[in-house]
Amino acid sequence: MDSHKRSLGFISLAFLFITCSSAEFLIQQVTEGKGTENNSSYNVEANLGETRAFREERPSSKIVTIAGYSVIKGRFEPYESSVFEAAGYRWRLVLYVIGNKNDGGAGHISLYVRMEETDSLPYGWEVNVDLKLFVHNPKTHKYLTVTDGTVKRYNAAKKEWGFGKLISLSIFENTNNGYIVQDTCSFGAEIHIVKPAEIQEKVTFISNPPNNVFTWKILRFSSLEDKFYYSADFLVGDRYWLVLDLKALQLRLGFNPKGDGDGRPHALPLFLFAQGFKENAVATNTWGAVNLRLKNQRNSNHRQLYCKKTITKRRKNTAAWYPIRSDYGVGVNNIILLSDLKDPSKGYLVNDAIIFEAEMVKVSVTNIVPV
């Protein structure tokens, strides 16, 4: 009985060893070569800078279909396609079905795009290309896309770019993988010209810009109605602060003498609005950092709201990106309690007049300039 158990145990161990060895061999076969290929699909992975992924869309520049792969299988000479036009230039596909050994492509399919008819180009020409190469998989109805994310610089010294190890032959020729169907296979290319930007949008920040202090004196305060009042607009940087005219970015101050929001009806609100852009300004978000004040007309004990570098829950911050739209204001619902404002001894309401002040500490200016 013990001998029988030992025999069964030995057989089980032997079977386990064979199974593990077979699995290891299978994994080795599946991952041989580049290490990113498997026997059913390619995931989005990078190997030595190259990225492989499947997509459904056909390549936009060129497709070459070989109907009779077995005829040329094993041949070392490259197949050169007819000349085709893409992105304003002339090209050929160059296909090595057993790999370009001079490019480390032994045991792989190698595929390149060569630039043709360059004699008419000016001396010192250079064409920068975002190049993608493709292998069709009819089984999945998708294209294996190969790229390395680098811009290919075609010039008189280098007219051909591509991939020596486009796909390993062990994967490509395995009929289970679906790249060859009825002895037919297809390859493709996508060529996009990369033209360096000649201009850029440059955002600069100006500290204490010219004419950055705006003073607004409101007379007959006691007769004001229960509504928002707005100052005249004033220009700082590229924006006017407060006029509803999107042709000029404008700033203005706004307040309601009867209160607003959680300060109503016990406190006086104060807000700064960005309204429009000055003529020919670049219309985009504008950074504005402002110190808002209700001035004390008898001493320097002003009620102030400062711009800060950091925002906290307890302290409001008047530094913000003001959007292009004109309905966005920054400020507080409580610059002062109305009881303090109306107290003659406090010095904020004098002769039925109050004074607001906006000091623009920092603004952004956006320009379109050469790179």
Q: What is the DSSP string of 69-114?
A: HHHHTT--SPEEPPPEEETTEEEEEEEESS--GGGT-TTEEEEEEE
How far apart, in whole angstroms, are the C-alpha atoms of residue 150 and residue 153?
Answer: 9
Which residues lie below 8 Å from residue 140, measured CB to CB, with a gap of 6+? 41, 54, 178
Continuous H helices in 238-361: 338-341
Task: Give the confidence band of 316 by pLDDT, cuts at 50, 70, 90.
Answer: low
CATH entry 2.60.210.10 includes domain 45-193:
yes
Q: Please give the class, per CATH, of domain 203-370.
A: mainly beta
CB atoms under 10 Å from CB of 130, counted, come to 15
pLDDT digits (tens, 9 = 90+) for 64-110: 999 999 999 999 999 999 999 999 999 999 999 999 999 999 999 99
Closest CA to 250 of 259, 239, 258: 239
Taking only the tens place, the pLDDT of each residue in 237-248 is: 888 885 222 222
Tell me the pLDDT tens digit for each residue of 131-167.
999 999 999 999 999 999 899 999 999 999 999 999 9
Q: Could you check whether 45-193 and 203-370 share the same CATH topology?
A: yes
What was the pLDDT predicted at 240?
A: 84
Per-domain residue ranges of the chain: 45-193, 203-370
Q: Is 120's pLDDT higher than 80?
A: yes
The neighbouring-strand residues paired with 95 are 79, 111
For the entire predicted model, the pTM comes to: 0.63
